[in-house]
Amino acid sequence: MKKNFAHILVIALIITFISCEEKQNGFEISAYLDGFTENSKVIVSDISSQKVLDSTKIIDGKFFANGFLDNAPSSISVIILSDEGKERNYSSIFMGNENVSISGDKATFDKGIEVKGSKYHGLKADYDKRVNPLYDERDKKLMQMFALRNDGKWNDSLQSAYWSETGLITKIDNETSKITEKFISENINSDFALSQLVTNKNDFSKEFIQNQLDNLEPRFKESRYVNVLETYLKNKPLESGASFYDFKAEDQNGQSVDFASFFNNNKDFTLLEFYSPHCSWCKKALPEIKELEKAEKEKLQIITYNVDKNKEDWLKTTKLNGITWTTLWNENGRYSDAYTKYRVAGTPTYYLFDKQGNVVEKWTGYDEKLIADIKNSIK
């Protein structure tokens, strides 16, 4: 009996070691490319967070990059800047923390690259073949539209011809949605199809989403994708006047807090900011948010929710940016309940609440009018 127990214990320790090793190992990309100039800069980034994972240069038609994906598998971008940054080529890979090789040439790089060694990218390549012709056609229509605008020929009739329910671009978008829906239905038991369903959930009916959940195999029933989709189906978008959604998160002092607790003070308003430390628009907004917090701190409190999974990045940038107000983080990042319930489509996103926790206003993105709009809403 003791021998059997010892044998089981050894096996358990081996399995634990292997699984921990898999979690700690990152990805490696070996690239073999034609047509790019020597020393062209390569930037590899996480598409959802915009975090730069590695940067390097092309030497003798090759480059090597590595890093770690916090939410593997996920989509990463490979951007190549040549001719001193005047030329830009872009492609993307859906991959995990695995070793892959890519090949291609400059002329077709933006249309897709050959990826070997990934157990995830194959479905993305299939999907790209289906939708890329539509993307190309859409780009052509947009170029036509911009040319008409530049020539001063744009008018209401052309606006309707391009963007109405039966417009040229609308038709392309509708066809793309149909292809995406069909692709997801055919491949729902895969990480890539589920990631597309999560990303495009606002484009699909709740009935379609529920049908996909019903068709999932057991191995995906407890996945991060399912948690997001079920939370999305159960919670309505917050309208003006609606009460806040509560959630739990960790603050920069290591304390677990409920969002509801921030309404138990004498502040008239609460601004909840969804933020990513790698988002360029978040960085642009930060100095103005600091000024707003300083100028209106008698009646306004700001709570910043970091949407990315990497805790070290959150704590480091909070300190480097000199943020003095409360910042929050959840280990599930963009798959957290808060991110889903508040319908965050991108960063920054802002919700303004009154003293009772009711929605006053919502802003998506940043522009030069943002701070003025917030100030006007808290008069």
CATH number of 97's domain = 2.60.40.10
pLDDT at 17: 46
180 and 71 within one domain = no
Domain count for the chain, please give it: 3
pTM over 0.75: yes
Tens digit of pLDDT for each residue in 147-199? 999 999 999 999 999 999 999 999 999 999 999 999 999 999 999 999 999 99
Residues of the chain with pLDDT under 70: 1-24
In a domain, 212, yes or no: no
143 and 84 within one domain = no
The whole domain housing 178 covers: 122-205
pLDDT at 4: 52
pLDDT at 12: 47
In a domain, 237, yes or no: no
pLDDT at 155: 94
In a domain, 232, yes or no: no
pLDDT at 14: 47
Q: Which amino acid is at 157?
A: S
132 and 110 within one domain = no
pLDDT at 7: 53
352 and 263 within one domain = yes
107 and 174 within one domain = no
CATH number of 272's domain = 3.40.30.10
In a domain, 259, yes or no: yes
137 and 76 within one domain = no
In a domain, 210, yes or no: no
> Last residue of a domain, which of 98, 119, 140?
119
In a domain, 241, yes or no: no
> Last residue of a domain, which of 119, 146, 164?
119
In a domain, 39, yes or no: yes
> Last residue of a domain, which of 70, 101, 119?
119
pLDDT at 22: 43
270 and 335 within one domain = yes
78 and 58 within one domain = yes
103 and 17 within one domain = yes
pLDDT at 221: 95
Q: Which amino acid is at 319?
A: K
pLDDT at 24: 60
96 and 152 within one domain = no
In a domain, 343, yes or no: yes
pLDDT at 9: 47
Three-state SS sequence of the chain: CHHHHHHHHHHHHHHHHHHHHHHHCCEEEEEEEECCCCCCEEEEEECCCCCEEEEEECECCEEEEEECCCCCCEEEEEEEEECCCCEEEEEEEEECCCEEEEEEECCCHHHCCEEECCCCHHHHHHHHHHHHHHHHHHHHHHHHHHHHHHCCCCCHHHHHHHHCCCCHHHHHHHHHHHHHHHHHHHCCCCHHHHHHHHHCHHHCCHHHHHHHHHCCCHHHHCCHHHHHHHHHHHCCCCCCCCECCCCEEEECCCCEEEHHHHHCCCCCEEEEEEECCCCHHHHHHHHHHHHHHHHCCCCEEEEEEECCCCHHHHHHHHHHCCCCCEEEECCCHHHCHHHHHCCCCCCCEEEEEECCCEEEEEEECCCCCHHHHHHHHCC
